[in-house]
Chain A
Amino acid sequence: MKARVFVTLKPGVLDPQGKAIHHALEGLGFSGVEDVRAGKLIELSLADGTPDADIEEMCRKLLANTVIENFRIERLETAA
Protein backbone atom coordinates (compact mmCIF):
# COMPACT_ATOMS: atom_id res chain seq x y z
CA MET A 1 0.00 0.00 0.00
CA LYS A 2 0.97 3.60 -0.39
CA ALA A 3 0.33 6.64 1.69
CA ARG A 4 0.82 10.30 0.97
CA VAL A 5 1.77 12.72 3.68
CA PHE A 6 1.08 16.41 3.08
CA VAL A 7 3.14 18.68 5.28
CA THR A 8 2.00 22.29 5.45
CA LEU A 9 2.97 25.29 7.54
CA LYS A 10 0.56 26.05 10.34
CA PRO A 11 -1.73 29.03 9.74
CA GLY A 12 -0.04 32.19 10.95
CA VAL A 13 3.49 30.86 10.46
CA LEU A 14 5.34 33.18 8.11
CA ASP A 15 6.09 31.50 4.76
CA PRO A 16 8.80 33.49 2.94
CA GLN A 17 8.89 30.91 0.15
CA GLY A 18 5.15 31.15 -0.43
CA LYS A 19 5.44 34.94 -0.46
CA ALA A 20 8.19 34.82 -3.09
CA ILE A 21 6.10 32.49 -5.26
CA HIS A 22 3.16 34.86 -4.85
CA HIS A 23 5.24 37.81 -6.03
CA ALA A 24 6.58 35.81 -8.97
CA LEU A 25 3.05 34.87 -10.04
CA GLU A 26 2.04 38.53 -9.91
CA GLY A 27 5.15 39.37 -11.91
CA LEU A 28 3.96 36.95 -14.59
CA GLY A 29 0.73 38.90 -14.80
CA PHE A 30 -1.56 36.52 -12.89
CA SER A 31 -3.94 38.73 -10.99
CA GLY A 32 -6.30 37.55 -8.30
CA VAL A 33 -3.81 35.34 -6.44
CA GLU A 34 -4.66 36.16 -2.85
CA ASP A 35 -2.13 34.05 -0.98
CA VAL A 36 0.39 31.25 -1.59
CA ARG A 37 1.56 28.70 0.96
CA ALA A 38 4.24 26.17 0.03
CA GLY A 39 4.44 22.73 1.61
CA LYS A 40 5.75 19.23 0.99
CA LEU A 41 4.35 15.97 -0.32
CA ILE A 42 6.00 12.78 0.89
CA GLU A 43 5.00 9.45 -0.66
CA LEU A 44 5.47 6.31 1.40
CA SER A 45 5.38 2.74 0.10
CA LEU A 46 4.36 0.63 3.07
CA ALA A 47 3.84 -3.00 3.99
CA ASP A 48 0.17 -3.91 3.64
CA GLY A 49 -1.68 -3.49 6.87
CA THR A 50 0.60 -0.81 8.30
CA PRO A 51 -1.63 0.77 10.94
CA ASP A 52 -2.63 4.43 10.76
CA ALA A 53 -1.11 4.95 14.17
CA ASP A 54 2.33 4.01 12.81
CA ILE A 55 2.07 6.52 9.96
CA GLU A 56 1.00 9.22 12.39
CA GLU A 57 3.95 8.38 14.59
CA MET A 58 6.29 8.72 11.59
CA CYS A 59 4.84 12.18 10.93
CA ARG A 60 5.19 13.29 14.53
CA LYS A 61 8.69 11.92 15.00
CA LEU A 62 10.27 12.99 11.73
CA LEU A 63 8.24 13.93 8.68
CA ALA A 64 6.70 17.09 10.17
CA ASN A 65 8.02 19.54 12.72
CA THR A 66 4.84 20.03 14.70
CA VAL A 67 6.15 23.28 16.17
CA ILE A 68 5.53 24.94 12.81
CA GLU A 69 3.90 22.36 10.56
CA ASN A 70 0.67 20.41 10.26
CA PHE A 71 0.40 17.09 8.45
CA ARG A 72 -2.37 15.22 6.70
CA ILE A 73 -2.21 11.54 5.74
CA GLU A 74 -3.92 10.14 2.68
CA ARG A 75 -3.91 6.34 2.34
CA LEU A 76 -3.93 4.95 -1.19
CA GLU A 77 -5.04 1.37 -0.87
CA THR A 78 -3.70 -0.88 -3.61
CA ALA A 79 -6.04 -3.43 -5.15
CA ALA A 80 -6.13 -6.63 -3.13
Chain B
Amino acid sequence: MKSAVIVFPGSNCDRDLAVAIEQVTGRAPAMVWHRETELPDGTDFIALPGGFSYGDYLRSGAMAARSPIMRAVADAAGRGVPLLGVCNGFQVLTETGLLPGALMRNAGLNFVCRPVPLKVENSQSLFTSQYDAGEDIVIPVAHHDGNFQADAETLDRLEGEGRVAFRYLDEVNGSARGIAGILNDSGNVLGMMPHPERALEKAHGNTDGRRLFEGLLETVAA
Protein backbone atom coordinates (compact mmCIF):
# COMPACT_ATOMS: atom_id res chain seq x y z
CA MET B 1 0.00 0.00 0.00
CA LYS B 2 1.39 3.39 -1.04
CA SER B 3 0.37 5.99 1.53
CA ALA B 4 0.80 9.73 1.81
CA VAL B 5 0.60 11.86 4.95
CA ILE B 6 -0.04 15.54 4.25
CA VAL B 7 2.00 17.92 6.42
CA PHE B 8 0.74 21.44 7.09
CA PRO B 9 2.60 24.10 9.06
CA GLY B 10 1.45 23.36 12.61
CA SER B 11 0.60 19.69 12.06
CA ASN B 12 1.89 17.74 15.07
CA CYS B 13 0.52 14.21 14.66
CA ASP B 14 2.02 13.64 11.21
CA ARG B 15 4.88 11.57 12.60
CA ASP B 16 2.60 9.47 14.86
CA LEU B 17 0.38 8.77 11.87
CA ALA B 18 3.39 7.84 9.71
CA VAL B 19 4.68 5.44 12.38
CA ALA B 20 1.24 3.81 12.68
CA ILE B 21 0.91 3.42 8.90
CA GLU B 22 4.40 1.96 8.57
CA GLN B 23 3.86 -0.48 11.46
CA VAL B 24 0.66 -1.84 9.97
CA THR B 25 1.39 -1.69 6.24
CA GLY B 26 5.14 -2.34 6.35
CA ARG B 27 5.80 0.67 4.17
CA ALA B 28 6.59 4.22 5.27
CA PRO B 29 4.22 6.83 3.81
CA ALA B 30 5.41 9.73 1.69
CA MET B 31 5.34 12.92 3.76
CA VAL B 32 3.82 15.53 1.44
CA TRP B 33 4.25 19.23 2.25
CA HIS B 34 1.16 21.43 1.88
CA ARG B 35 2.77 23.54 -0.87
CA GLU B 36 3.04 20.56 -3.21
CA THR B 37 0.48 20.40 -5.97
CA GLU B 38 0.64 16.70 -6.74
CA LEU B 39 0.60 13.46 -4.78
CA PRO B 40 3.22 10.80 -5.51
CA ASP B 41 2.18 8.55 -8.41
CA GLY B 42 0.12 5.58 -7.37
CA THR B 43 -0.85 6.93 -3.93
CA ASP B 44 -3.63 4.64 -2.71
CA PHE B 45 -4.22 6.05 0.77
CA ILE B 46 -4.05 9.65 2.02
CA ALA B 47 -4.06 10.76 5.66
CA LEU B 48 -4.54 14.26 7.06
CA PRO B 49 -2.95 14.46 10.52
CA GLY B 50 -3.96 16.12 13.76
CA GLY B 51 -2.40 19.28 15.07
CA PHE B 52 -2.99 22.99 14.76
CA SER B 53 -2.48 23.76 11.08
CA TYR B 54 -1.81 27.48 10.58
CA GLY B 55 -2.28 27.97 14.31
CA ASP B 56 -6.03 27.42 13.90
CA TYR B 57 -6.19 30.92 12.40
CA LEU B 58 -9.64 32.06 11.24
CA ARG B 59 -11.23 28.65 12.00
CA SER B 60 -9.63 25.28 12.74
CA GLY B 61 -8.66 23.75 9.40
CA ALA B 62 -9.80 26.75 7.35
CA MET B 63 -6.41 27.79 5.99
CA ALA B 64 -5.15 24.23 5.44
CA ALA B 65 -8.30 23.45 3.45
CA ARG B 66 -7.27 26.12 0.90
CA SER B 67 -3.62 25.09 0.63
CA PRO B 68 -2.28 23.97 -2.78
CA ILE B 69 -2.06 20.23 -2.06
CA MET B 70 -5.73 20.02 -1.08
CA ARG B 71 -6.83 20.30 -4.71
CA ALA B 72 -4.89 17.12 -5.52
CA VAL B 73 -6.25 15.48 -2.36
CA ALA B 74 -9.85 16.32 -3.31
CA ASP B 75 -9.28 15.03 -6.86
CA ALA B 76 -7.88 11.75 -5.52
CA ALA B 77 -10.79 11.38 -3.09
CA GLY B 78 -13.14 12.01 -6.01
CA ARG B 79 -11.54 9.08 -7.82
CA GLY B 80 -12.21 6.88 -4.78
CA VAL B 81 -8.79 6.92 -3.09
CA PRO B 82 -9.31 6.32 0.66
CA LEU B 83 -8.81 9.53 2.65
CA LEU B 84 -8.63 9.66 6.44
CA GLY B 85 -8.69 12.89 8.45
CA VAL B 86 -7.91 12.65 12.15
CA CYS B 87 -8.72 15.51 14.53
CA ASN B 88 -7.41 18.63 12.74
CA GLY B 89 -7.57 16.46 9.61
CA PHE B 90 -11.32 16.04 10.19
CA GLN B 91 -11.64 19.82 10.58
CA VAL B 92 -9.80 20.28 7.28
CA LEU B 93 -12.20 17.83 5.58
CA THR B 94 -15.30 19.73 6.72
CA GLU B 95 -13.69 23.03 5.70
CA THR B 96 -12.99 21.71 2.19
CA GLY B 97 -16.56 20.45 1.92
CA LEU B 98 -15.43 16.84 1.45
CA LEU B 99 -17.47 16.07 4.59
CA PRO B 100 -20.61 17.88 5.75
CA GLY B 101 -21.08 19.87 8.94
CA ALA B 102 -18.59 21.82 11.02
CA LEU B 103 -16.46 21.27 14.11
CA MET B 104 -17.04 23.98 16.65
CA ARG B 105 -15.55 24.89 20.04
CA ASN B 106 -16.18 22.15 22.63
CA ALA B 107 -19.41 22.78 24.51
CA GLY B 108 -17.57 22.95 27.83
CA LEU B 109 -14.97 25.31 26.27
CA ASN B 110 -12.17 23.13 27.68
CA PHE B 111 -9.52 21.28 25.72
CA VAL B 112 -10.44 17.61 26.15
CA CYS B 113 -7.54 15.15 26.25
CA ARG B 114 -8.31 11.59 27.42
CA PRO B 115 -9.16 8.11 26.20
CA VAL B 116 -12.88 7.97 25.38
CA PRO B 117 -15.20 5.01 24.84
CA LEU B 118 -16.72 4.87 21.35
CA LYS B 119 -19.32 2.75 19.66
CA VAL B 120 -18.52 1.47 16.17
CA GLU B 121 -21.74 2.33 14.32
CA ASN B 122 -20.70 1.19 10.87
CA SER B 123 -18.49 -1.87 10.53
CA GLN B 124 -18.97 -2.19 6.76
CA SER B 125 -16.80 0.71 5.60
CA LEU B 126 -13.33 0.26 4.18
CA PHE B 127 -11.94 1.79 7.38
CA THR B 128 -13.99 -0.17 9.91
CA SER B 129 -14.34 -3.67 8.45
CA GLN B 130 -12.16 -5.17 11.21
CA TYR B 131 -14.56 -4.03 13.94
CA ASP B 132 -17.86 -5.63 14.92
CA ALA B 133 -21.04 -3.62 14.46
CA GLY B 134 -21.97 -1.98 17.75
CA GLU B 135 -18.61 -2.87 19.29
CA ASP B 136 -17.34 -0.63 22.10
CA ILE B 137 -13.75 0.53 21.72
CA VAL B 138 -11.54 3.09 23.46
CA ILE B 139 -9.53 5.68 21.50
CA PRO B 140 -7.91 8.87 22.85
CA VAL B 141 -9.14 12.34 21.92
CA ALA B 142 -7.19 15.60 22.22
CA HIS B 143 -9.02 18.62 20.89
CA HIS B 144 -10.52 22.02 21.56
CA ASP B 145 -12.82 22.15 18.53
CA GLY B 146 -14.49 18.75 18.26
CA ASN B 147 -18.11 19.74 18.69
CA PHE B 148 -19.65 18.36 15.48
CA GLN B 149 -22.66 20.33 14.29
CA ALA B 150 -24.84 20.13 11.19
CA ASP B 151 -28.46 20.93 10.45
CA ALA B 152 -31.08 18.33 11.39
CA GLU B 153 -31.62 17.30 7.78
CA THR B 154 -27.89 16.57 7.31
CA LEU B 155 -27.74 14.66 10.61
CA ASP B 156 -30.77 12.56 9.61
CA ARG B 157 -29.17 11.82 6.25
CA LEU B 158 -25.86 10.79 7.87
CA GLU B 159 -27.71 8.46 10.25
CA GLY B 160 -30.03 7.10 7.59
CA GLU B 161 -27.21 6.31 5.17
CA GLY B 162 -25.06 4.62 7.81
CA ARG B 163 -22.45 7.33 7.54
CA VAL B 164 -21.92 7.78 11.27
CA ALA B 165 -18.81 5.62 11.72
CA PHE B 166 -18.16 6.23 15.43
CA ARG B 167 -20.23 7.67 18.25
CA TYR B 168 -19.12 8.79 21.72
CA LEU B 169 -20.56 6.69 24.52
CA ASP B 170 -20.05 9.53 27.04
CA GLU B 171 -20.55 13.27 26.73
CA VAL B 172 -17.21 14.56 25.39
CA ASN B 173 -17.59 17.86 23.54
CA GLY B 174 -21.25 18.58 22.84
CA SER B 175 -21.29 16.97 19.38
CA ALA B 176 -24.72 16.61 17.81
CA ARG B 177 -26.01 13.09 18.44
CA GLY B 178 -22.65 12.14 19.96
CA ILE B 179 -21.03 11.94 16.54
CA ALA B 180 -17.28 11.24 16.69
CA GLY B 181 -16.60 10.26 13.06
CA ILE B 182 -18.43 10.36 9.73
CA LEU B 183 -18.05 9.01 6.20
CA ASN B 184 -18.70 10.76 2.89
CA ASP B 185 -21.50 9.50 0.64
CA SER B 186 -19.28 7.12 -1.29
CA GLY B 187 -17.62 5.79 1.87
CA ASN B 188 -13.98 6.46 0.94
CA VAL B 189 -13.52 9.55 3.12
CA LEU B 190 -13.55 9.24 6.92
CA GLY B 191 -13.16 12.12 9.36
CA MET B 192 -12.88 11.43 13.06
CA MET B 193 -11.86 13.41 16.15
CA PRO B 194 -10.39 10.45 18.12
CA HIS B 195 -6.79 9.47 17.29
CA PRO B 196 -6.55 5.81 16.19
CA GLU B 197 -2.77 6.21 15.74
CA ARG B 198 -2.50 6.77 19.49
CA ALA B 199 -4.01 3.37 20.30
CA LEU B 200 -1.77 1.15 18.24
CA GLU B 201 0.64 -0.69 20.52
CA LYS B 202 0.47 -2.14 24.02
CA ALA B 203 2.60 0.71 25.37
CA HIS B 204 -0.22 3.10 24.37
CA GLY B 205 -2.54 1.43 26.87
CA ASN B 206 -4.73 -0.23 24.27
CA THR B 207 -4.61 -1.24 20.63
CA ASP B 208 -8.18 -0.50 19.51
CA GLY B 209 -6.97 1.90 16.82
CA ARG B 210 -4.85 -0.70 15.09
CA ARG B 211 -7.72 -2.47 13.37
CA LEU B 212 -8.67 0.68 11.49
CA PHE B 213 -5.33 0.61 9.66
CA GLU B 214 -5.47 -3.18 9.31
CA GLY B 215 -8.94 -3.01 7.76
CA LEU B 216 -7.79 -0.34 5.36
CA LEU B 217 -4.73 -2.36 4.36
CA GLU B 218 -6.88 -5.40 3.68
CA THR B 219 -9.34 -3.42 1.53
CA VAL B 220 -6.69 -1.53 -0.43
CA ALA B 221 -4.52 -4.61 -0.97
CA ALA B 222 -7.51 -6.69 -2.10
Interface residues of A (CB under 8 A from B): 13-14, 16-17, 20, 61-63, 65, 67-68
Contact = CB atoms under 8 A, between A and B. Distances in A.
Nearest to B63: A62
Given A62-B62, A67-B150, A16 B105 contact: yes
Given A62-B66, A65-B95, A68-B149, A14 B58 contact: no
B94 interface: yes
B138 to A, nearest CB: 26
B106 A13 contact: no
Contact of A16 (B59, B94, B102, B109): B109
Interface string B44-88: 000000000000001100100010000000000000000000000
B215 interface: no
B61 to A, nearest CB: 9
Contacts, number: 35
Contacts of A62: 58, 62, 66
15 contacts: A14-B147, A14-B149, A16-B106, A16-B107, A16-B109, A16-B147, A16-B174, A62-B58, A62-B66, A63-B58, A65-B59, A67-B94, A67-B101, A67-B102, A68-B102
Contact of A20 (B66, B100, B109): B109
A16 B94 CA distance: 20
B88 to A, nearest CB: 15
Nearest to A68: B102
Contacts of B9: none
B108 interface: yes
Contacts of A17: 105, 109
Nearest to A12: B151
B101 A16 contact: no
A13 B106 CA distance: 13
A13 B58 contact: no
